[in-house]
């Protein structure tokens, strides 16, 4: 592994390079090479991530109730959010992964990449301290925390739309991402909503989920006008 490039991406230089290597060692590779894998680091990283996000919400979002903070944390400490972080740093290029797993493009699987982010979090903590790992987590997840905090009180428009449409029987509802604009760290997604294969509305958002929600909200508004 060329650690210099990766450390530059992470904005952190490891004192123990072996920790960084272990964080990227998938169990399939470890079984082939008879070496340690990153599963224990994932376990520790998951706990650290949950604590840091909880503390950040407690310190910075006094307006949220305990239940709302729990919902926000769940939307941040999840596979989708961590997968986005892994894609940002091109973690798939650095993973040590077994031959059969690589043949199936396992180094691009969201679950594998999300796990590697947790392992990196633990590796940074073990190599330094909580201050450093907190900096890494907040730098890379603060936008997701911000979006989730804004939307935590909103109705789930996708569910509401589905309930309205299916009152009269089965209906086909599809959301297609038709456009992505802006740099990786600040993208805007545009999603179109198809009802029974007919384009009904579109929505925009800083992530696909938010864009889909806005498309559903627009479709509900159209239905109410009829």
Q: How far is Cα 113 from Cα 92, in angstroms, rounded to an integer? A: 7
| The one catalytic residue among 84, 118, 192, 202 | 118
46 tagged catalytic: yes
Q: According to the model, what pLDDT value does residue 156 have?
A: 72
Q: Which contiguous run of DSSP H or E holds residue 123? A: helix 110-127
Contact by Cβ (8 Å): 44, 122: yes
| The one catalytic residue among 46, 147, 192, 202 | 46
For the segment 7-36, what is each residue's pLDDT rounded down to a tens digit? 999 999 999 999 999 999 999 999 999 999
In terms of pTM, does the model score above 0.75? no
- Kindly state the DSSP code that residue 96 receives in the 8-state scheme: B
For the segment 110-146, what is each residue's pLDDT rounded down to a tens digit? 999 999 999 999 999 999 999 999 999 999 999 889 8
pLDDT band at 170 (very low <50, low <70, confident <90, very high): confident
Q: Tell me the Ramachandran region of residue 196: left when phi exceeds 0, alpha when psi lies from -120 to 50, beta otherwise.
A: left
Q: How far is Cα 86 from Cα 9, in angstroms, rounded to an integer? A: 11
**Token pair listed for 55:** 């503390």
Q: According to the model, what pLDDT value does residue 206 have?
A: 82
Exposed/middle/buried for residue 15 (C-beta within 10 Å: 0-12, 13-18, 19+)? exposed
């Amino acid at each position: 592994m060329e650690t210099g490039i990766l450390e530059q991406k992470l904005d952190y230089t490891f004192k123990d390079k072996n920790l960084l290597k272990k964080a990227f060692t998938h169990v399939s590779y470890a079984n082939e090479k008879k070496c340690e894998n990153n599963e224990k680091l994932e376990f520790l990283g998951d706990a650290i991530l949950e604590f840091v996000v909880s503390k950040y919400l407690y310190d910075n979002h006094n307006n949220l109730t305990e239940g709302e903070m729990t919902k926000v944390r769940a939307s941040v400490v999840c596979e989708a959010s961590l997968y986005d972080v892994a894609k940002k740093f091109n973690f798939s290029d650095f993973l040590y992964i077994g031959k059969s797993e690589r043949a199936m493009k396992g180094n691009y699987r969201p679950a594998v990449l999300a796990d590697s982010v947790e392992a990196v979090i633990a590796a940074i903590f073990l190599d330094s301290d909580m201050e450093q790992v907190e900096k890494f987590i907040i730098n890379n997840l603060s936008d997701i925390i911000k979006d989730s905090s804004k939307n935590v009180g909103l109705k789930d428009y996708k569910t509401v739309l589905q309930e309205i449409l299916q009152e009269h029987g089965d209906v086909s509802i599809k959301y297609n991402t038709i456009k992505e604009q802006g740099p990786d760290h600040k993208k805007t997604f545009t999603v179109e909503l198809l009802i029974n294969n007919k384009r009904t509305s579109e929505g925009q958002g800083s992530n696909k989920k938010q864009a889909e929600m806005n498309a559903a909200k627009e479709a509900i508004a159209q239905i109410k006008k009829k």
